[in-house]
A and B are shown apart, each in its own frame.
Chain A
Amino acid sequence: MGQSFPDYLASLVTPFNILAGIVVLTGLVLGVQRFTMGLGATTNLSDTNPWGLWIGFDVLCGVALAAGGYTMATAVYIFRLKEYQPIVRPAVLTGFLGYFFVVVGLCFDLGRPWRLPFPMFVSMGVTSIMFLVAWHVALYLTCQFVEFSPAVFEWLGWRRVRQWAVRLTLGATIFGVMLSTLHQSALGGLFLLAPGKLHPLWYSPLIPLFFFVSSIFAGISIVIVESTLSHKAFAHQLDSDDDAHLERLTVGLAKAASVVMFTYFGIKLIGLMHGNGWSYLPTPLGEWYLVEMLGFVLLPCFLYAHGYLTRNVTLIRWTAFLTVIGVIVNRLNVSIIAFNWQEADRYVPRWSELLITLAIVTTMILTFRWIVNRMPVLREDPSYPSEF
């Protein structure tokens, strides 16, 4: 980037980089411990609680929050909402990295990463939801790479290959939406196997639909959060007009998110009635359920709507943060807090699980920054024609 190597190394010494380096190094040491000494040495998982933070956060939250890629790609490439094009590449990149690090997190949980292809090719369980999820994540990662590849080829200067990649984008997006619809809901479908283990307020035959619909507003909200943070962190790459344009797009996204959240609240209410779960509401877990539904779904829904009606971008951005937290709370409720709720032996993550998760998230942020600093993600390369 026009610097000598010693200058480049000196520019890397910042408080954020030092902290990130410590976290990643600690994660690496703990990762070695996990792969050499097993789950028992690094986690609080047991036969009663075989799924913990790495499934609940890294996989379930990771996949939901990576949904920004398919929501924005659908809006722009299929529904032709061309004004949202400037935020497609960062959204697809976030989605791609999100899914990639979901696989990394999954490797920590499963162990023996060299056997990842086994459920897909060798020992195929075609009636298992995990078989579907394994194939979908692999295929969707490929789709997202195709969608993002024009930026890579622009960076490399491969003009002809870039042309082919642009031609493939629409097909990859359509295939990607089909895959996302299925595997976002399939992750909820995993819990259909455990009606007796999941608390009745969270268990519902409609849970695949809950997971899919919530992934849409999770995706929209993470796009708002990511664009807000990256426009601050990479302000030097942007023109002064870009901020005003982003604010207009943020207002439009708020309207979409509020409509989807309202729909989600409605179907959750129908699901609650379907399971006749009212009697569980005046219990501690019932109160926690109300906090999730009212504080992290209905409240942000109305805040988004208010933000849209008054064109209050600051309110919309804070609401996006609240919504992202809400989606994380929901996935952790389903997979950890309300799971095995009748068991005396409750799972609490060990510090090493938390640190490995933190290291994975930090590595993802560092990778995102590395790519955005080099490839045309937030800015357009003027020597290449628009994809439209």
Chain B
Amino acid sequence: METMLEYLTYTKGWEYIITIVVVFAFIAFWELLCRERPEARRKQQKG
């Protein structure tokens, strides 16, 4: 990276990519958490 333009293109580019990955990862994580697990629910009701 020799110039300011190259530096900004590099950091901003990666920043946008990471942002999109984080958003999709968050959706997947949320889906995982919201999935009902009947055996876990039974365990809690028992406890």
A residues within 8 Å of B by Cβ? 244, 247-248, 251, 255, 258-259, 262-263, 266-267, 269-270, 273-274, 276, 305, 308-311, 313
Contact = CB atoms under 8 A, between A and B. Distances in A.
Nearest to B41: A311
Q: Interface size bucket, B side?
A: 20 to 34
B39 to A, nearest CB: 9
Interface in B23-45: 25-26, 29-30, 32-33, 35, 37, 40-41, 43-44
A319 to B, nearest CB: 14
Interface SS, B side: helix
Contact of B33 (A244, A263, A305): A305
Given A263-B26, A276-B7, 9 more contacts: A262-B26, A262-B29, A269-B22, A274-B15, A305-B29, A310-B37, A310-B43, A311-B40, A311-B43
Given A305-B32, A310-B40, A311-B40, A273 B15 contact: yes
A173 to B, nearest CB: 27
A194 to B, nearest CB: 22
Contacts of B11: 273-274, 276
Given A266-B26, A270-B15, A274-B15, A247 B47 contact: yes
B29 A273 contact: no
Interface of B: 7, 10-11, 14-15, 18-19, 22, 25-26, 29-30, 32-33, 35, 37, 40-41, 43-44, 47
B44 A269 contact: no
A318 to B, nearest CB: 17
A308 B33 contact: yes
A267 B26 CA distance: 11
Contacts of A309: 32-33, 35, 37, 40
Given A244-B47, A247-B47, A273-B18, A259 B29 contact: yes
Contacts of A305: 29, 32-33
Contacts of A270: 15, 18-19, 22
A276 B19 contact: no
8 contacts: A263-B26, A266-B25, A267-B22, A269-B18, A269-B22, A273-B14, A309-B37, A310-B37
B18 A251 contact: no
